[in-house]
Structure 1
Amino acid sequence: MVVQKPGTPRELERYLRPENMAGVGFDQVCAAAGAVRTGTLFNATPQILGVSMNPQIVQPGDVFLGICGAKRHGAEFVDTAISNGAVALITDTAGLEFLPDDFSIPVAVVADVRKAAAKVAQAVYGTNEHCPQLFAVTGTNGKTTTTFMIRAILEALGEETGLIGTIEMSARGQIIPSVLTTPESTQLHGVLARMAQQSVNSVAMEVSSHSLSYGRVDALNFAVSGYTNLTQDHLDLHGTMEDYYQTKAQLFTPEHSSAAVVMVDDPYGARLVDQAQIPTESLSLDENHKHADWRVTELEHSGLGHRFTLKHRDGRQLHTRTALPGMFNVANAALATLMVLAGGVELQRLQQALDAKDPLSVAVPGRMQVVAESPVAVVDFAHNSDALAKALDSVRPGAQGRRIVVFGATGERDKTKRPDMGAVAARHADIVIVTDDDPHGEAPEPIREQVATGAQQAIDSEGLTTELYNVAPRAKAVEFAVSLAQEHDAILVAGRGHEVSQDVAGMDVELDDRVELANALNLHGFVTNS
């Protein structure tokens, strides 16, 4: 079944900007961006109501940004932008080549349109003066859960909140479907201005390496930025782990952030604390860490989750818990708590909110989401080797139970991690079922084979007793996993989390791991959570 998207991109765009804009003069916008006016309409000064890089989503009164893309120049499509209501154009010298001499809207030129985009948006939407307090979370894994936890803490403190991330964008509980983990700078400034208009006080935001590479968070200042971890991912963009790290490190400079909290339990985090150019506090899960400012201590199981204490080297303490399973969720919860503290909340008031509301137990769609408890059945977004290992270690079967995992690898992404993910699964699970993730434009069979080969090599070379299966399509693989399960086992369906459609050769095919897992459990006579 093909999934229907919620509205067209142009319709969605209306929700990513404030309502009833008064308008800003084009000359003022050009001054903010360092753009130089040119052309026959040099003296025209239209009022700018919005800004867009995409001619298809331009709204009436927009300035259109003609950017040089990988294959085509945006200025080639300016007629579409004008037909949708663009009243001015900012482009580069290459873009001028596509314009006729008698061009019908005023034009300005900058050297790099993408770098100027955030300043244009800031000038149009006024986010330099009217913007909620911003909390940024970056790292390979844990960004989504940590931002959900930050929002939950802030709501427990009585704040009106917003969220921008992989699963959703929301303002005071009103959800807007996300277009990217971090929207384009033009949309990001627009939606933050809309949130300010709606009296949102604070916003928790995921900041991906893509958003830093492409300048999507430029011209914003985060009150507090947090770092979770760095493991192999996105090397199709960055090429090397060093470039991946240096891209993340840009967030921890005065250009982007005022303060930071950094997990130092991986080498990149320890390095980042030393490199950060802003006031930074370090955090470790190791209570014996000699150099961390904050440490997790008094850790004990509490249901599926944990109870723990955060201790500072100066004697300050915070006591809290999370119902979400896994040590990585302890890390997410600790980071979220300390980021809110670093944002200026008084410690005693924060402790009261943690005690009264239990905000760190917030349910996060598709992140260690428990579908059943006998057998333990969990859906998680883990889609790289480190996340997969941690997720598997976090699902605890009964004393005689087995770990069963269903997962695949994404097409048209970093191919080097496919066999490694297979090997990790073979080491951490008793039964491995390799299936399809999002093949995108790749043939799915070779992807599965690459993952399965990595698993088989680990089984053979390390003498593992892991059972290995290659099953497609994904829904069949999930049902097969449940058919093998007994009540004391644990099943992890990993890789897609909250996603409700699978990209197969450019088609969005309806598939929700949570629904498929629940249906399979019911089919085989197990009880699911309501």
Structure 2
Amino acid sequence: MVTMRKKRLADLLAAAELPILCPEDEKDIEICGVTDDSRQVVQGMLFVAVAGATVDGHRFINDAVAKGCAAVLVSRDYTEECAVPLMKVDDTGRVLGYLAAAFFDFPCRRMKMIGITGTNGKTTCTYLLEAMIAKAGGVPGVIGTVSVRYKGCETPAALTTPQPVELQRILEQMSEAGVTHVAMEVSSHALAQQRINGVWFDVALFTNISRDHLDFHGSMESYFAEKEKLFASYLKDHGQGVIVLGSGEAEEQENNGWCDRLIAVLAGHNHACLTCGIGRGLIQARNFRFDLQGIRAEIVSPEARFVLDSPLVGEFNLRNLLGVIGCGTALGYALQTICTGLAGVKGVPGRLERVLPDGDTAQEGTGLATVFVDYAHTPDALENVLLTLRALRPERLIVVFGCGGDRDRGKRPLMGGVATRLADVLLVTSDNPRSEPPRKILAEIEAGIREEKLAKGKGEQLMQNRQLKGYDVIEERAEAIRIAICGAGAGDVVLISGKGHECYQIIGSRKLFFDDRQQAREQLNIARQAA
């Protein structure tokens, strides 16, 4: 909600290109803001009544009028008497973003917009883009899962992609502050719910697609169809697509099939496409190595080649880096500038983030395990992280993980199977059970573990006997973390997966403070004292 500017109703509707007949005597009505939330209405606003999944805004028209709205937009017949002009369109949810964008004079047109979509890697890519843009002399703004940030201002994010009016308000604030480039995560939910209507992008990046959110989308085809919209409908006329290709291995064929479809979509809409990959694509990584200190790879593009050094860990992060290099190339940056900017990104909150005891900057030689916290909460993401850590050749790889309640149940046994195949010790625990009984969720994960024939044991015994492989189910997340870290030793790697940067546990309707990183640090402190 912003009340600093005003627009004639007729001008606002015309700017949003809405086929609405505005009577002559209503054209000069002044509108001081646009909202779909009656609680935010102030004198002179346009109230857009949107029928949402759980709440119908048409029920709150009287409230909006009582608070002084200047006009109302509906998508359903409204038979009650209304004291202000009332206009009707087919879908108020669709036009809300365009109206908000028009009210702020389309801020996306005043900045370079980079949209990132994909199951995994979006947040990491925004941090990388932020550093690259700054190195190239731009002023970056970021809208994503962790926060909204620009020019020293940072606000925690409620959603990966904000609601339409809030999104346009943020973009307007960024433009007014002098931001030149915006890196924005675009979730499949946001595309399905038309939150980004009124935003068009100079560059759209596709990181990957794997099973997630099927509780919402229903099928992989529907899930992909939403992501496809970013490339088919939300690019500026000169906009370009950047596609991160999977490897040529058999397990990557499905992802590459989706990539091929996006490449065809871009060609069909006359948009340029840059493909990136490890040994594949227009921009390639060659002669690469991975270790605990990071990544070194030779980056080869049609115009140049440069050696990239990054503190980020693992093959999946090399793919993220390649996607951002593709974006930088699309923006016209030199490869050396791009790689130099990326080298400065030390890490991303909750993305394979290493946790150290208080006061330690390095952990080697202390007799403690190496501990990472990661956001991985899909089978593919968990597999990528575990493969990365397995490649470090730990004595044992211990994973603490769970699955969220009221979300895609089908991925639960899949994640159990992935963890069983790649880790030595599994401690299965709660991760935002929400309204579901935690034991039910844990049993569904356990079904995938049993299929792999892994023996069940007591967590502390599994940790004490370094020759044993197995799993245990420990409902209390803090207890699972304690057992994992206090039972692990030098040479072991512990992964605490699922929450990443999030600092809460949702149990029923309660949202309780819980930070995996804090819990891990406390247990490392205890283990250090006991050593």
Shorter-chain TM band: 0.7 to 0.9
Match among 41, 51, 56 for residue 34 of structure 2: 51
Amino acid corresponding to residue 317 of structure 1 in structure 2: R
Q: 1:379 to 1:225 in 2, by over 3 A?
A: same
Unaligned residue ranges in structure 2 (runs of 5+):
247-254, 357-362, 456-466
Where 2:295 maps in the other structure, the secondary structure is: strand
Query: C-alpha deviations, 1:437-482, integer Å up to 9, x for none?
Result: 1111111110011112211221259xx9741111121111111111
Matched, 1:515 2:518: yes
Q: Give percent identity, aligned residues only.
A: 29
Match of 1:351 in 2: 336
CA shift, 1:132, in A, is 1.7
Matched, 1:428 2:422: yes
| Distance in 2 separating the partners of 1:444 and 1:434 | 11
Matched, 1:28 2:28: no
Amino acid corresponding to residue 274 of structure 2 in structure 1: E
| Distance in 2 separating the partners of 1:448 and 1:363 | 31
Q: 1:293 to 1:353 in 2, by over 3 A?
A: closer
Q: 1:126 to 1:306 in 2, by over 3 A?
A: same
Match among 442, 461, 475 for residue 472 of structure 1: 475
Q: 1:514 to 1:526 in 2, by over 3 A?
A: farther
CA shift, 1:217, in A, is 1.4
| Distance in 2 separating the partners of 1:440 and 1:46 | 46
- Further displaced range: 73-82 or 421-430: 73-82
Match of 1:10 in 2: none
1:328-343 to 2 correspondences below 5 Å = 328-343=316-331
Amino acid corresponding to residue 125 of structure 1 in structure 2: F
Q: 1:425 to 1:93 in 2, by over 3 A?
A: same
1:225-304 to 2 correspondences below 5 Å = 225-253=204-232, 255-257=234-236, 258-265=239-246, 266-267=255-256, 268-276=258-266, 277=269, 278-285=271-278, 287=279, 289=280, 292-301=281-290, 303-304=292-293
Query: C-alpha deviations, 1:188-226, integer Å up to 9, x for none?
Result: 112101110111111100011111111111222111110
CA shift, 1:87, in A, is 2.5
- Further displaced range: 121-130 or 330-339: 121-130
1:491-510 to 2 correspondences below 5 Å = 491-510=494-513
Where 2:59 maps in the other structure, the secondary structure is: helix
Matched-pair contact (CA < 8 Å) for 1:398–1:489:
no
CA shift, 1:484, in A, is 1.9
Q: 1:493 to 1:189 in 2, by over 3 A?
A: same
Amino acid corresponding to residue 117 of structure 2 in structure 1: T
| Distance in 2 separating the partners of 1:146 and 1:411 | 27
| Distance in 1 separating the partners of 2:101 and 2:389 | 45
**TM-score of the superposition, structure 2-length normalised?**
0.88
Q: 1:186 to 1:60 in 2, by over 3 A?
A: same
CA shift, 1:293, in A, is 1.2
1:65-84 to 2 correspondences below 5 Å = 65-84=48-67
Match of 1:414 in 2: 408
Paired residues, what number?
Answer: 495
- Further displaced range: 436-445 or 318-327: 318-327
Q: 1:359 to 1:107 in 2, by over 3 A?
A: farther
| Distance in 1 separating the partners of 2:483 and 2:53 | 43
| Distance in 2 separating the partners of 1:129 and 1:242 | 29
1:379-418 to 2 correspondences below 5 Å = 379-396=373-390, 399=393, 401-418=395-412
| Distance in 2 separating the partners of 1:250 and 1:353 | 28
CA shift, 1:114, in A, is 0.9
CA shift, 1:138, in A, is 0.5
Matched, 1:326 2:317: no
1:3-402 to 2 correspondences below 5 Å = 21-31=4-14, 32-34=16-18, 36=20, 43=26, 45-94=28-77, 96-97=78-79, 100-101=80-81, 103-127=82-106, 131-253=110-232, 255-257=234-236, 258-265=239-246, 266-267=255-256, 268-276=258-266, 277=269, 278-285=271-278, 287=279, 289=280, 292-301=281-290, 303-312=292-301, 314-345=302-333, 347=334, 350-352=335-337, 354-355=339-340, 357-359=341-343, 361-372=345-356, 373=363, 374-396=368-390, 399=393, 401-402=395-396
Matched-pair contact (CA < 8 Å) for 1:30–1:108:
no
- Further displaced range: 139-148 or 295-304: 295-304
Amino acid corresponding to residue 150 of structure 1 in structure 2: L
CA shift, 1:508, in A, is 0.8
| Distance in 2 separating the partners of 1:38 and 1:273 | 42
Matched-pair contact (CA < 8 Å) for 1:376–1:395:
no
Match of 1:487 in 2: 490
| Distance in 1 separating the partners of 2:283 and 2:324 | 13
Unaligned residue ranges in structure 1 (runs of 5+):
1-13
Amino acid corresponding to residue 265 of structure 2 in structure 1: Q
Supply the RMSD in Å over aligned alpha carbons: 2.4
| Distance in 2 separating the partners of 1:171 and 1:51 | 24
| Distance in 2 separating the partners of 1:363 and 1:59 | 43
| Distance in 2 separating the partners of 1:500 and 1:47 | 43
Matched-pair contact (CA < 8 Å) for 2:291–2:392:
no
Query: C-alpha deviations, 1:3-26, integer Å up to 9, x for none?
Result: xxxxxxxxxxx5xx5xx6321111
Q: 1:83 to 1:145 in 2, by over 3 A?
A: farther
| Distance in 1 separating the partners of 2:514 and 2:369 | 22
Matched-pair contact (CA < 8 Å) for 1:376–1:397:
no
Query: C-alpha deviations, 1:391-412, integer Å up to 9, x for none?
Result: 1122258756100001100000
Where 2:452 maps in the other structure, the secondary structure is: helix
Matched-pair contact (CA < 8 Å) for 1:456–1:468:
no
CA shift, 1:325, in A, is 1.1
Q: 1:150 to 1:174 in 2, by over 3 A?
A: same
CA shift, 1:152, in A, is 1.0
CA shift, 1:254, in A, is 5.3
Q: 1:359 to 1:135 in 2, by over 3 A?
A: farther
Q: 1:86 to 1:364 in 2, by over 3 A?
A: farther
| Distance in 2 separating the partners of 1:400 and 1:171 | 39
| Distance in 2 separating the partners of 1:284 and 1:526 | 45
